[in-house]
């Protein structure tokens, strides 16, 4: 049986083990572990005033899974904070072959979003309290 390796280095090591007369036992076990909690900080791009406080505007070209996870955690831990997104392209899919776009994701999770520019409605909201 020929094993499929993820890299040339793994292949070379397997060959070395065979040449040494050892059985190649490759990726047979799963070892569970927990990623420890860590405190971190997020710095929003822009802060704009609104009645009763302010809101943030975060601009995104590429919205990685790490960024999406971060924003869900912020939303869960600070539901009072209003973070809105302006994407280069809100129709961009989350990943190749995904049925979900950045805009779809925002709608599902209750984030306000726009494409290319801050909507006039948001600007007026900020201007009305300045």
Q: CATH no. for residue 89?
A: 3.40.91.30
Query: pTM of the prediction?
Result: 0.73
- Is residue 113 within 8 Å of residue 121, measured between CB atoms? no
Residues 11 and 70 in one domain: no
Strands of the chain (E only): list them: 46-50, 53-60, 83-87, 112-115
Same domain? For 19 and 61 the reply is no
Structural domain count, the chain: 2
Q: Is residue 119 part of a domain?
A: yes
Range of the domain at 22: 1-33
pLDDT digits (tens, 9 = 90+) for 63-80: 999 999 999 989 999 999
Question: How far is CA 34 from each of CA 28, 31, 37, 121, 130, rounded to the nearest angstrom?
Answer: 20, 10, 9, 44, 47
Check whether residue 58 and residue 110 sit in a common domain: yes
pLDDT in tens, 24-42: 888 888 888 776 788 888 9
- Determine, yes or no, domain membership for 39: no
Q: Are 57 and 116 in the same domain? A: yes
Shared-domain flag, residues 83 and 104 = yes
């Amino acid at each position: 049986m020929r094993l499929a390796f993820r890299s040339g280095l793994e292949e070379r090591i397997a060959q070395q083990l065979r040449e040494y007369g050892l059985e190649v036992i490759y990726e047979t076990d799963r070892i569970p572990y927990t990623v420890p909690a860590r405190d971190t900080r997020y710095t929003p791009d822009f802060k704009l005033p609104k009645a009763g406080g302010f809101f943030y505007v975060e601009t995104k070209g590429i919205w990685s899974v790490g960024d999406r996870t971060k924003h869900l955690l912020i939303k869960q831990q600070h539901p009072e904070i209003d973070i809105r997104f302006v994407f280069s392209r809100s129709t961009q899919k989350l990943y190749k072959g995904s049925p979900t776009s950045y805009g779809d994701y925002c709608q599902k999770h209750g984030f306000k979003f726009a494409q290319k520019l801050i909507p006039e409605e948001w600007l007026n909201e900020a201007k009305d309290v300045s």
